[in-house]
Chain A
Amino acid sequence: MTAETPPGAFSNMSLEMRAWNIRRKALLMGEVQGQGYIGQALGVADVLATSYFHAMDFQAEDPEWEGRDRFLLSIGHYAIALYAVLMEAGILPEEELETYGMDDSRMPMSGMASYTPGMEITGGSLGHGLGIAVGMAMGLKRKKNPAFVYNLMSDGELDEGSTWEAVMSAVQWKLDNLICIVDFNNQQADGPTRDALAVGAEAPKWEAFGWFAQEVDGNDLDALVAAFDAARDLTDARPRVIICNTTMCKGVDFLEAREITHFVRVEADEWSKALAKLEEGKPQ
C-alpha cells in the first residue's frame, strides 16, 4: 500500500485534503474487514479533519503529552474514523491499516484506550464520554493546564440520561475548557434519531441548560472552522457545544443514497467502486 500522505508536518495541507485522506483510509479499513461503520466515518471526516488539523494541539510522537488537547471518542463504533485521523496525524503508523479488526491488532472494531495510542477513553457503552470529559476538564482546571477537552458524541447518545447529567454538571462547574461535538446524522441502530427520543431542536436545549451552542453543517469545512474558532475563543465561563449536522456516507454518492445507513452493507465488489467514486472527488 502506498502511503497517500506520509505522517508528519503537512501544515500547508488543506483541510479538504485531510478530510479526503481520512475518508480514503476509512474505506481501505472497511475493505479489510468487508464491513464496518463506514457511513459514520465518511460522514464525520470533515469534523475530525477540523478537530485535528485546525483546532487541536497535539504531538504525534507523544500522544500522552501533558499539554495536548484531549479528544474523547464516546462513540466506540466510530473507531474506524478515529484510526483514520490518528494515521493521518502520524500518531498511528499507516502500515497497520490492514490489521484493522484483525486478531492482535491495535485497532479493534470498537475503540478502547488500552489498545490504541491516541485513544483517550474506552467508548462504546454510550453516554459515557461527556461525563468523563467533565471530570477531565475539572482535573485540567485543578492543574491550571490550559488544554481543551473535546468530546465527540453521536446524536443517539442524546437518548442517554447520563449525557444530561453531564450537561448540567459542565455548567455548574463553569467548564469553559470543554467542547462537546455532536455528530447529528439522524441515524441510530433502529432508525432515525428524530423518531426515537431526540425530538425537537437541539441547540435551544443546550442553550437552555446554559451552554454556548452552535449548530452547523458538519460537512462544510468553512462552517466548521468558524464554529471551532468561536468555541475556543469565547470568553464566557461556560461549556461549548457544536452540533454538526452530517450526512452519512458523505463523499460516496451511491452509499449516501442507501436508506438504512447505521451499519452499511457494502458488497465485496463495491469497495473498489466506493474508492473510485471518492477518487473522482479528490481535491486538487
Chain B
Amino acid sequence: MTLASMARKYEPRRVAQTKVATSAMIASLAAEGYDTVNAPFGHALVELAKKDKRIVGLSADLSKYTDLHIFANEMPERFYQMGMAEQLLFSAASGLAREGFIPFATTYAVFASRRAYDFIAMAIAEENLPVKIACALPGLTTGYGPSHQATEDLAIFRGLPNMVLIDPCDAADVAGMVPAMVAHDGPVYARLLRGKVPSVLRKHKPDYKFELGKAQMIREGRDVLVISTGIMTMRALDAAVKLADDNVDVGVLHVPTIKPLDVETIRAEAAKQGRLVVTAENHTVNGGLGEAVATTLLTAGIAPQFRMIGLPDEFLEAGALPTLHEMYGLSVDKVAERIKSWL
C-alpha cells in the first residue's frame, strides 16, 4: 500500500454507484475473448502419474485451490495431506525425493517463497533434489492484499542456485510444463494458474508448445518488441491487437522459463534494430524478468530503447482484481497506453 492509502484508514467510505466485489481467491482469472480449460495442472499431473509411478502429490491444506485435488481424488493413495504446515510440506517432499519419488508440492506462492524459503533452499535446492513446487496466486492474481499476493516470489527464487523457475501464461503452458518439470532432474518452482484457465497462446500461434528454457516469438512486429512472461504475455498480445489499430506493430516474445533464461533468443530478438524493447511481468520490477533481460542485454553490449512494465515496489492494495490491474498497469488498456506513450 502507498503511504497515502494508509493515511486514509480512518476516512469513512460511501457505497459506490457501480459495485465491483473483491474476486474470491478461488476465482479463475478473467480473460475476455479466450476459451478456457478446466484445471489443466491437475489433469496433466494425473495423466503423467498414470505412466510414472514415482510421482506423488503433497499439499499444505490447499489442494482444492491448487487443482491438486484432481490428482488426490484420482489417486488418493499417492496423495499426502500435510496440513497447514509449509515448512513440513517441503521438508517431507525432500524426504520423499531422497527415497526415489518425484513429489509435487503445492501451496500458495506467498507461503512457499516467504514462509518456507529456508526449507526449499537447504532441504531441496542445495542437494538438487527433484521436488516440483507448484504455487497458485502468483503476482497480482488475488484482491486479498499483500498476505496473498506473491509479488516478489520470482526475485526470491532467482537467487537460489539449482532452481528452475516457470511462469506460465495459459492452459497450454500449464499442461505443457508438467511433463517438462518431471523430465528435468532437479528442483522446479512453477507459478500456477488454476480453475478455468484461458487458452491464449495457440489462438495466436496454433502450433505453440511449451519447451523448458525456451523463449518463443508468439507474434512478430516491427515497431516494438515486448518480452513478457506469465499472464502478461496474454496482456501483451491483447495490447498488440489493440495497437495494430493505431498502426503500431508490436511483436511478443514469450519467456515462460525465467531461470534458466533463454539468453540467446532474447539477445537475438532485442538486437534487431529499430524496435523499442519493453519487458512485461506480473511481478515487482525488482529482481524479476525485466532486470534479468536488462542484464542479459547490457552484458552483450545490446542497448535498445528499453522500458519495463511490472508491479511497483510497494505492498499492493486490496480490492477487485480488474480495478487493481488497471491501478497497477497490468490491464490491456494500460499496457497499450504506456507502450504508445514511449514511442
Binding site for B on A (CB under 8 A): 112-114, 120-122, 124-125, 127-128, 130-140, 142-143, 145, 161-162, 165-166, 168-169, 172-173
Contact = CB atoms under 8 A, between A and B. Distances in A.
5 contacts: A135-B95, A135-B98, A138-B95, A162-B91, A165-B83
A134 B101 contact: no
B202 to A, nearest CB: 37
B123 A134 contact: no
Given A142-B99, A162-B119, A131 B56 contact: no
A136 B127 contact: no
A264 B89 CA distance: 36
Contacts of A125: 118, 121-122
Interface in B39-73: 56
Interface of B is mostly: helix
Given A125-B118, A128-B123, A169 B92 contact: yes
B88 A169 contact: yes
Contact of B98 (A127, A132, A161, A162): A132
Interface of B: 56, 80, 82-83, 85, 87-88, 90-101, 103, 118-119, 121-123, 126-127
Nearest to B60: A165
Contact of B80 (A136, A138, A166): A138
A128 B83 contact: no
Nearest to B131: A135
B85 A168 contact: yes
B104 to A, nearest CB: 13
B92 A132 contact: yes
A133 B91 CA distance: 8
Contact of B87 (A121, A135, A139, A161): A161
Nearest to B95: A135
Given A128-B119, A131-B119, A140 B99 contact: yes
A169 B85 contact: yes
B101 A132 contact: no
A137 B95 CA distance: 8
Contact of A143 (B85, B100, B123): B100
Given A131-B87, A132-B98, A138 B119 contact: no
Given A138-B96, A162-B88, 11 more contacts: A132-B94, A134-B95, A135-B103, A136-B96, A137-B95, A139-B98, A165-B88, A168-B85, A169-B85, A169-B88, A169-B92
Contacts of A134: 88, 91-92, 95
Nearest to B82: A169
A145 B88 CA distance: 22
Nearest to B88: A165
A162 B87 contact: yes
A212 B301 CA distance: 65
Q: Which of A114, A132, A134, A138 has the largest number of chain B CB atoms within 10 A? A: A132
Contacts of A136: 95-96, 98-99
A128 B95 CA distance: 11
A71 to B, nearest CB: 13
Contact of A166 (B88, B118, B122): B88
A139 B88 contact: no
Nearest to A149: B95
A166 to B, nearest CB: 6
A137 B80 CA distance: 13
Contact of A135 (B91, B118, B126, B127): B91
Contact of B56 (A114, A122, A142): A142
Nearest to A137: B95
A134 B94 CA distance: 10
